Structure 1
Amino acid sequence: MSTLGILYRQRLRRDRWQLLSWILSIGVLAWFALEAITKTFGDEASRAQVLKLATATPAILVLRGLARGPALDAFTFFEIYSFLALLAGFMNTFMAVRHTRAEEETGRAELVSATAAGRWAPLGATVLHGLVANIVLSAAVALGFMAGGLDPVGSIVAGLATGAVGLAFLGVGLLAAEFFSTSRAANGISASLVMLAYFLRGFGDATGQISPDGMTMTAAWPSWVSPIGWGQQTFAYTGNRIWPLLLPVGLAAVCTAVVVRIMARRDVGASLLAGRAGRADARSWLRGPFALALRLQQGVIIGWCAGGLATGLITGSLGSALQSTLSTNASVTAALREMIQAHGTSLTQLLIAALFEIAGVMAAACGVQAVIRVRQEEAAGTAEVVLSEPLSRVRWLGSFMGLGAISVALVMAFTALGAWVSLVASGDTSSAVGDVWATGLAQLPAALVYLALPAAVFVVWPRATIPAGWALLGIGVVLGIYGGMIGLDQKIVDLSPFTHTPVVSSTGTDWSGGFWMLGIAAALAALTLAAVPRREVGNA
């Protein structure tokens, strides 16, 4: 077998579970979204009303897509495509950095280049790995839509649009890995570029030209500088245009060509932007495991808090418009009640609870990343160095978990702050405005469960920490947020912690579910800390 084939098989084996989780999750999400839309907006009149609301409310277009009519297939593409493309972007940038800059950072790339593989076979294997992964991703999205009964041709176009955007961000990730000396920096800038593309597309959609009937829109120029906007321009189901996909594929080709040019002129392990030299001595406050954990994760925590603040601010901008629609559309109100498992609450409280569930997922993701950082420190060997000092494993792991709990609370606090400010600024004087703080508090128990669960996996099965952490969160989101909307058995839906999140109501709030989840999280955390001294550091 050729060297390229051997390296490709190595990448496939290394990513088999992680990549499978990404692709299946995105494909299943396409099908779940279609099922939820079919149940919630079963008639064209309801979809037309939502489209008119969306075209009149720019904030909705930022989060959704480009309206192309009230038909079920076009409405589904409007609702979910931009989010599928966003996930495809993250999948590909992380994959590109993992097999390039991370390999150089750990020294493995230099060992491989010293063999018959040389410098170019690893890059070729990574590009081939990404190409095949995006072809499979395209098929998964297309099958997800076709499984729901949508037109096969349009579904294939939607799948190709998702895969092409993923391919573009594979190139972006490869190029980012050439600029930065650490995988953390390369991942950070790559993820930021994915989010920038998402919001550029959203801004272009929000400022586009609306048709007289309010059913369709033409995107403004910012959408045309975003790979996600390029994929959206295929007009799957309504136009089925293939030529816009030449843009993301071309971007991937250009980025790869630039990477080849740069690699021919630099040493293995070097980068275009030199890393900043560290201090000879640590600062006075960096003297304990908690301070070290904070230093390692401060950028991640700030990013999630900023996301929570933005989610809270969006609450106010959508408030009045959504309330007017909810009051006249019983199916939309019913869908919200099923999504958050709430009955008897006011429309404003339903809206706040629904939006805060998004922030709750973000807070849970922040908790998952805190545990993932522990595993990364152990896998890199730095944890063993730290533990060679007079520091117990319980205190070491407890510091990361404690910081994770604080960061989860901070994400929800910033969300509540943003919601409170935006609702007050929008002129909402209802009592529900003051409930945003309690609603933020209600999301904490479920998020803390997703801090304790990966920590338990880290102690029992260290190698599974990263894939299991994200997989558990993904399953919880699908079951808890979409399960009730598509009619899954309640026993299955109840497996998700998000199902048991208390919903704040002016008539009385049932906090029992929150207390149960707090107890489960505390028990898991205690068992984890009790078990960590019983295994070896670096245990595979």
Structure 2
Amino acid sequence: MGALWILYRQRLRRDRWQVIVWVLSIGMLALFAVAAIAKTFGDDATRTQVLQLATAAPAILVLRGLPRGPALDSFAFFEIFSFLGVLAGLMNTFMAVRHTRAEEESGRAELISSTAAGRWAPLAATVLHGAVANVLVAVATALGFMAGGLDPAGSLVAGFATGAVGFAFFGVGLLASEFFSTSRGANGISSTLVVVAYLLRGVGDATGQVSPDGTTMTAAWPSWISPIGWGQQTFAYTGNRWWPLLLPLGLWAACTAVVVFIMARRDVGSSVLAGRSGRSDARPWLRGSFSLALRLQQGAIIGWCIGGLATGLLTGSLGSAIQSSITSNPQVSSVLRGMIEAQGISMTQLLVAALFEVAGILAAACGLQTVLRLRQEEVAGTAEPVVAESVGRMRWLGSFLGLGAVSVALVLAFTAVGAWASLAASGDTSGAVDDVWQTALDQLPAALIYLALPALVFVVWPRATIPTGWALLGVGVILGIYGSILGIDQKLRDLSPFTHTPVTTSTGTDWSGGFWMLGIAAVLAALALAAVRRREVGTA
């Protein structure tokens, strides 16, 4: 117990600021969402119209949630819970990998295992640390909803549903750390699974059964294979069901048990999927700084491209399912016809726009991770020998920036290929089939901002690169994608690149914001390249 307590305190001290920021952000987001929804959609009649619009155009539900009635509390849960689940999932996967695979990768785990703590005390301390953090998330979320004036009983269910989603993904992060030999690989696959869970929940919500009045839905089966979907099934404020929380908690327990089973049979530092042995000499093509950057990042780029392709492939199958559900409900069809006539867009165009918002976030994250790799190479001490040769600092940074731009374009291209192929296979003849290429291009400027701005942070303030990079992306998503829901002032929302993403409609595309963002990204990249010549490369 003494070793367990010491290791647990070490984790608390190491993560004190990260946990505080995550927990407070999730709790405050719940509070702000309720306040904004109460202000923007102040009565049941307005909220009923919004829900009928959402069920009439189910593509909206991919980025929202499962409608369960027009009351303020259930409407708030519908609007914000899925995003709270994503935040809880990312927090937990990063935390789990940081205290398991990253520790083994650095060699610290082997040192601790050689002491009286042994092999199991570190794992027990990590599991305890994750459990406490998720309880704090649950409490903070519940208090946020309560402070917004929502029903306390339903707020407790909503809060603990968020915490339970966190538990599930903590177990996923632990299990990923057993399979992959690097923290980068474990983080990549576990965060991808968070996005997959979000999309599965969205598919289940969008293809569910709509009630006759168009204000409630019963989710389809894909929601039942998503931890975020399990949290939604609590029906907070309308049903207050606790039993669905057994599913994410069961996943957490099962993953932990499998981790114990695997750890008992492997050496410290090894993994289920062993990394390939390196060559004694480099291949002929591995002679330039760009090819080195590509070799270091190829696994991550492939992973993000697969995520983009999967997002695109959802378009055709999801569009067919949505069309079928609309056709079977005359009331929904009439509402949808009115909306399409008013906006001059098709159902498929709505769906493509919604899914490409997700693709834009994936592309931005891919570009950001390329810059973060620069900092990881510098801390590991492998960057200094590279720039000490003829490569130089500018060429080294420029190679990663070039690779980041290419990887961003590849993620969007794979998304477009998936969307085009799935729409063509489904027999869709609307103009959106050809629009997918333009829609993919529309996401490029915002994604490049998240390549250039973190690169400048890396040059000016190296130690802040990783936390600042992810914080910038998170804030950008909140302001740009969810800012209208949260009632955030337009001046603040305009700070997010996602707010200015060009939108393709039947009348064309306004690229004025896109050109401005491309210019800003170019200026930021040029400043980073100019400034990197004057700073030292080191491990601090």
- Once residues 90 and 248 of structure 1 are traced to their aligned partners in structure 2, the CA distance between those partners, rounded to angstroms, is 15
Mapping of residues 467-486 of structure 1, within 5 Å: 467-484=467-484, 486=486
Counterpart position of 1:461: 461
Question: Which residue pairs with 1:517 in the alignment?
Answer: 517
- Contact 2:101–2:177 at 8 Å: present in 1 too? yes
1:37–1:100 CA distance, 2 compared to 1 (3 A): same
Over 3 Å counting, the alpha-carbon distance change for 1:166 and 1:314 in structure 2 is: same
Q: What is the TM-score of this pair, normalised by structure 2?
A: 0.84
CA shift digits 1:438-483 (9 cap, x unpaired): 4433332222121111111111221211110011122222223343
* Offset at residue 156 of structure 1 (A): 1.7
The letter for the 1-side match of 2:481 is I
Percent sequence identity over aligned pairs = 75
Q: Which residue is 1:23 aligned to?
A: 23
SS of 1:285 mapped into structure 2: coil
In structure 2, relative to structure 1, the CA distance for the partners of 1:75 and 1:134 (3 Å cut) is same
2:444 aligned residue: 444
Matches within 5 A, 1:220-369: 223-312=223-312, 317-318=318-319, 325=335, 328=338, 346-347=344-345, 356-369=356-369
Shift of 1:50: 5.6
Cα deviations across residues 50-95 of structure 1 (Å, max 9, x unaligned)?
Answer: 6566667776666554443333322332343233223322221221
The corresponding residue for 2:329 is: none
Alignment check: 8 A CA contact 2:36 2:488 kept:
no
TM-superposed CA distance for 1:124, in Å, is: 2.4
* Distance in 1 of aligned mates of 2:223 and 2:502: 39
Question: Secondary structure of the equivalent of 1:534?
Answer: coil
Once the two structures are superposed, the pairs formed by residues 155-166 of structure 1 within 5 Å of their partners are 155-166=155-166
Moved more, 358-367 or 380-389: 380-389
The alpha-carbon deviation at position 308 of structure 1 amounts to: 3.4
Partner Cα separation in structure 2 for residue 531 and residue 539 of structure 1: 18
Cα distance in 1 for partners of 2:299, 2:210 equals 39
What's the counterpart of residue 530 of structure 2?
530
After TM superposition, give the deviation of residue 401 of structure 1 in Å: 0.9
Secondary structure of the residue that 2:481 maps to in structure 1?
A: helix
Q: Residue type of the partner of 1:180?
A: F
Q: Check conservation: 1:39, 1:485, Cα contact below 8 A.
A: no
Unaligned 5+ segments in structure 1 are: 334-344
- How far apart in 1 are the matches of 2:467 and 2:9? 19
Would the aligned equivalents of 2:60 and 2:351 in 1 still touch at CA under 8 Å? Answer: no
In 2, Cα distance between the equivalents of 1:61 and 1:354?
9
Deviation at 1:399, TM superposition (A): 0.9
**Unmatched runs of 5 consecutive residues or more in structure 2:** 327-331
CA 1:127–1:208: 2 relative to 1, 3 Å: same
Once the two structures are TM-superposed, the CA of residue 221 in structure 1 deviates from its matched residue by 5.9
Measured against aligned partners, the alpha-carbon deviations of 1:162-221 in whole angstroms (never above 9, x if no partner) come to: 111211221232233223332233334433444454455556556766656555455566
Partner of 1:513, secondary structure, is helix
- Please name the residue that 1:126 is paired with: 126
Aligned to 1:342: none
Aligned length: 527
2:33–2:485: 8 Å Cα contact kept in structure 1? no
**Separation in structure 2 between the aligned mates of residue 499 and residue 221 of structure 1, nearest angstrom:** 33
Which amino acid in 2 is paired with 1:76?
A: A
**1:429–1:187 CA distance, 2 compared to 1 (3 A):** closer
Instruction: For residue 453 of structure 1, give the secondary structure of its aligned residue in structure 2.
Output: helix
1:99 deviates by 0.6
Q: Aligned in 2, Cα 1:83/1:257: closer, same or farther, shift over 3 Å?
A: same
Give yes or no for contact 1:18–1:467 (8 Å, CA) kept in 2: no
**Paired residues for 1:102-181 under 5 Å:** 102-181=102-181
Please name the residue that 2:88 is paired with: 88
| Compared CA separation, residues 285 and 104, structure 1 to 2 (3 A) | same
* Alignment-derived partner of residue 78 in structure 1: 78
**Is contact 2:53-2:336 (8 Å) kept?**
no
CA displacement at 1:310 relative to structure 2: 4.4
Deviates more, 1:387-396 or 1:271-280: 271-280
CA–CA separation in structure 2 for the residues paired with 1:173 and 1:222:
22
Q: In structure 1, what is the equivalent of residue 398 of structure 2?
A: 398
Residue of structure 2 equivalent to 1:341? none
